[in-house]
A and B are shown apart, each in its own frame.
Chain A
Amino acid sequence: MSVRPSRLPLRLPLPCVAVVGVLGLTLGVAGCGSSNTASGTPSASGSSSSSGGNACDAYKAYGDLTGKTVSVYTGIVTPEDTPQINSYKPFEKCTGATIKYEGDKSFEAQVLVRAKAGNPPDIGIVPQPGLLKQLVATGSVKAAPPEVAANVDKFWTKDWKTYGTVNNTFYAAPLGANVKSFVWYSPKEFKSKNYKIPKTLDELTALSETIAKTGSKPWCAGIASGEATGWTITDWMEDMMLRLSGPDTYDKWVNHTIAFNGPESVAALDAVGKILKNPAFVNGGLGDVKSIATTTFQDGGLPILDGTCSLHRQASFYAANWPKGTKVAEDGDVFAFYLPGKDTASKPVLGGGEFIAAFTDRPEVKAFQTYLSTDLWANNKVASSPDGGWVTANKGLDTGKLTSPIDQLAASILQDPKAVFRFDGSDQMPAAIGSNAFWKQATNWITGSSTQAMTDAVEAAWPK
C-alpha cells in the first residue's frame, strides 16, 4: 500500500457516512412511515369450511359486495393468521367482497403512525383497550354501526362492551379472548403425589408449602421478553388485585382513580411477592429469585416437564408453548387449573382479547365489521382452527366444537355466568405505564427493589 499517511483520512468516506447516519437517526422522528408489512390476499373462491347452495343464506343481509375490498391490518401473523384468513372466506365467497389481510409484528406502533398520518386501514384488530383509546384520540376511528352494537349486546357481557367503549361512545366489538388466570401443572405428578387442585388462595399457599417441604421448589417463572420484560409480573399483580380487593377497586386502580402506590396495590404486589420472592418457592429448575428476570416467559414453565417445579401461572396461550408431543389435557402431561379466588364464592377472571376498530364507514366495511361480531363468524373461526388455540367470549360460540381441552376450559370459564371478567389492566393503562413503567418497575422489583419503591415509581411515572 502506498497511501501517504496525511492523505489517508481524506480518502475514507467513513466520517461522512457516519454523519448522515446520525442525522438520519436523531432527526428522523417526524418523517417515518410504514413499509414492513406482510400481506396475503386470500382468494374469494376459498374452499374451506362451509359449502353448498344455502350456506350463503346467512350472508344475504350483507348484500352483493362484488368488486369491493376491505383492508384488515393486524398484529396476528404466521402461523395464527391462516385460521384468521380462512374464517373470512365464507364471507368473501357469499358476498363477493375481497378481504385484504395485512399482518405486521409491529402493528401496535405502526397503526398509530398510520392513523396519525391519515393512512389508516379500513379495519384494525386492536389487542388492547388502551391502544383503542389512543386511536380514538387521533380522531380517525368510526363509531360502531348499530348492527354491531346490537350483536355485542346479544353475544357479549356488559364488561366486554365497556372495553370497546371510549368516552361513552361504543367503537369496537370484541373478537377473540384469552384467559390469564391459569396455573399450569402436571396432572401425573398431582395424581402420584396426591396433590389436590386448590379451590382458594389459602389452599394454593398450603399446597405450595406442602411441595416446598418435600425439598422441591413448587413454582417456576420467567419474565424476560425483550423490551417487554416484566409483563408476566404485571399479570400476576393484576390477578392478585382482582382477588384481594375485588373487581370494583380493580377498575378504579386501572383507571387511576385510586393511586397506584395505595394500600390495595401494595397488598396485591406483596401477595405476589409471597410466592415469587420466596426463595423456598422459586425458581424450580431455573435458579434463585433473580433468575426469574432473565428466564424468558416461554421457558418459564418448561421445568414442569422435568419435574423440577410443579406450578406455573400463565395464560391459556401458553398451551402452544409446550414442546411437540406434550399432551395438554386433564389426563395428559400438563394442564391448567383456574387460579382460585380468595374464597370459593368469588370467581374473578383476568384475561385479554382483541377488538375490531373501523377507520372507514363504507358499506362493505360495515358489513364485514358486522360479520365479525356475529356467532356465525365465531363458529367459522373455530371451524377454521382445527388445532385449537383460539377462544372467544362470544356467547354464540358452540363450545362443543372446540377441539383442545384447554380451549374448552377457557371457554367454559369465559361463559360461566358466575365468573367476573376483567381485562388485563396494563393493556388499559396509558402506554407510558402499561407498556413501559409498569413492566420496567416490575422487573426492578423482582431483581431487588421493595414493593413500596416499585409502586411509588409507577405512580410517579403516571402521565399528568
Chain B
Amino acid sequence: MTSSEKFLQMAAAIGAFAAVIGVILFIAGRFSGRRGDRVVALAFLLPTVALLLVGLVYPGLRTIYQSFFNAAGSSFIGMDNYTTLFTTPDQVTVLRNTVLWVVITPFVATAVGLLYAILVDRARLESLAKALIFLPMAISFVGASIIWKFVYEYRPAQGGIKQIGLLNQLVVWAGGSPQQWLLEKPWNTLFLIAIMIWIQAGFAMTVLSAAIKAIPDDIVEAARLDGVRRLGMFRYITVPSIRPALIVVLTTIGIGTLKVFDIVRTVTGGQFDTSVVANEFYSQSFRSDNQGLGAALAVLLFVLVVPIVVYNVRQLRAQEAR
C-alpha cells in the first residue's frame, strides 16, 4: 500500500464514522417528548454497547475461557496454568516484582507530588517549577525508558574508557566505582520503578496542587486562629481537604502501574528477573506461543485491577452522595 492509498483509506474510515454518527443523530432528532428521550438514549447507547460487546466483553470472556487450555489452545487442562503462575520460580518472581511495583510506585509518586505541590505553593516562579516536574508526563513511556537506559548505562573502570551514563559518572566523580545498575536483583526493579515515579510525580503534583489551591481560605484562617502550625496544618487541614484528589491520584497511578509494560520491555526486556505480569503476558502469548499461560496472566491482571477500580468507583459515589 502506498502512502496515498493509506490516506485514502483513512479518509474513507473517517467518512464512514461521520456517516454513522450522522445517522444516529438524525434518528435521535426525529423523536421528541418523554418517549423520545428514551429513543434518543437508546440510539446513543446501542452503538456503544455493541462495540463494547464485540471489542471488550467477547474477547474478555474468550480470554478467561482460553486460560483453562494448554499452550496451543487445543485441550482443557483446568487450573494448571494458574498453578504454574503461583508455583514455578520464574512466575513467582514476576508476581513478586509486580507487588513491588504496585506497593512502591503509587505511594512514592504521590508523596513526591504532594510534597512538591506544597513546597512550590505560592512560591516565586511557581509555574516554572511546576512545569519542570510536569514535563516528563509529556514524554512517552518508551521515550522516558530510553532516556533512563542511558542514565543507567555502564562502562568499565578501565583506562581510556569514559562513562556515558549519568548515574555512573556521578558515582565516579564521587570517587566510587561504576555499577551495573540494571543487573543486580532485586535492586534493578527499584531502578525501573524510579522511571515510573519520575513520570507520574508530575501528574500527582498537578492534581494535588489544584486541590490544595481550592481549599477555602476561611478554613485555613480558622485553623490558624486556633493555633494550628505547619505540620498540624498539613495533617488536619490539607490532607483531609484533598482526600478525594489523593485517592484519585493513588488509584490512577496504581492501575497504571499494574499495567506497566513499556518500561520493563524497553529497559531490560524482562531479563535479570525484572519481568512483571503485563510483560510476562506478552512474552508468553506472542514469544513463547503459550496462549493458555498468557491468557491466565491476563486474567490475573484483570483480577488485580478490579478491586482498585471498585474502590475508586465507590469513593466517587460516596462523594456524590455527600
Contact = CB atoms under 8 A, between A and B. Distances in A.
B210 A3 contact: yes
Contacts of B210: 1, 3, 8
Given A24-B56, A230-B271, A9 B319 contact: yes
Contacts of B134: none
B211 A8 contact: yes
Contacts of B266: 226
A290 B256 CA distance: 33
- The residue in B245, B288, B289, B291 that gathers the most chain A C-beta atoms within 10 A of its C-beta is B289
18 contacts: A3-B214, A5-B215, A5-B241, A5-B242, A8-B211, A9-B245, A9-B247, A10-B316, A14-B252, A22-B301, A25-B278, A26-B305, A27-B298, A30-B66, A227-B269, A229-B268, A285-B156, A440-B271
A30 B180 contact: no
B207 interface: yes
Contact of B72 (A29, A39, A137, A440): A137
B289 A12 contact: no
Residue of A4, A112, A432 with most partner-chain B CB within 10 A: A432
Interface string A422-453: 00000000111001110010010001000000
A435 B316 contact: no
B155 interface: yes
Interface string B1-23: 11000000000000000000000
B94 to A, nearest CB: 12
A30 B62 CA distance: 6
B272 interface: yes
A67 interface: no
Contact of A27 (B56, B283, B286): B56
B259 interface: yes
Nearest to B255: A18
Interface string B298-315: 110110010001001101
A303 to B, nearest CB: 10
Interface in B276-294: 278, 281, 283-291, 294
A84 interface: no
Contacts of A229: 268-269, 271
A30 B269 CA distance: 23
A15 interface: yes
Contacts of A290: 180, 183
B316 A15 contact: yes
Contacts of A447: 183, 272
B269 A27 contact: no
Contact of B287 (A27, A31, A435): A435
- Most chain B CB inside 10 Å of its own CB: which residue of A15, A31, A288: A15
Nearest to B277: A26
Contacts of A228: 269
Interface residues of A, number: 60
Contact of B245 (A8, A37, A287, A293): A8
A22 B305 contact: yes
Q: Which 5 A-B pairs have the closest CB atoms?
A: A287-B156, A227-B269, A27-B60, A30-B62, A431-B289
Contacts of B268: 229
Contact of B301 (A1, A26, A41): A26
A19 interface: yes
Contact of A5 (B158, B244, B259, B269): B244
Interface string A148-161: 00000000000000
B297 to A, nearest CB: 9
Given A28-B59, A436-B287, 18 more contacts: A5-B214, A22-B255, A25-B261, A25-B298, A29-B62, A29-B285, A29-B295, A39-B1, A137-B72, A227-B269, A285-B156, A287-B158, A294-B182, A432-B71, A432-B290, A436-B284, A443-B271, A447-B183
A6 B2 contact: no
Interface string B54-68: 111011101100100
Chief secondary structure at chain B's binding surface: helix
A10 B318 CA distance: 11
A134 interface: yes
Contacts of B289: 112, 134, 430-432
Interface in A101-151: 109, 112, 134, 137
Contacts of B322: 6
Contacts of A257: none
B245 A443 contact: no
A286 interface: yes
A52 interface: no
A9 B313 CA distance: 11
Nearest to B213: A1
A98 B7 CA distance: 23
A192 interface: no
Q: Which of A227, A229, A436 has the most CB of B within 10 A?
A: A227
Nearest to A25: B259
B63 A436 contact: no
Greatest chain B CB density within 10 A among A29, A227, A287, A432 is at A29
Interface string A282-320: 010111101101100000000000001000000000000
B248 interface: yes
A279 B315 CA distance: 58
Name which of A4, A6, A230, A460 has the most chain B CB atoms within 10 A of its CB.
A6
Interface in B85-127: 88, 90
B188 to A, nearest CB: 11
Contacts of A37: 1
Contact of B154 (A31, A291, A443): A291
B320 A10 contact: yes
B287 A8 contact: no
Contacts of B288: 431-432, 435-437
A55 interface: no
B180 A29 contact: no
Contact of B59 (A12, A14, A30, A288): A30
B258 interface: yes
A463 interface: yes
A227 B252 contact: no
Contacts of B281: 29
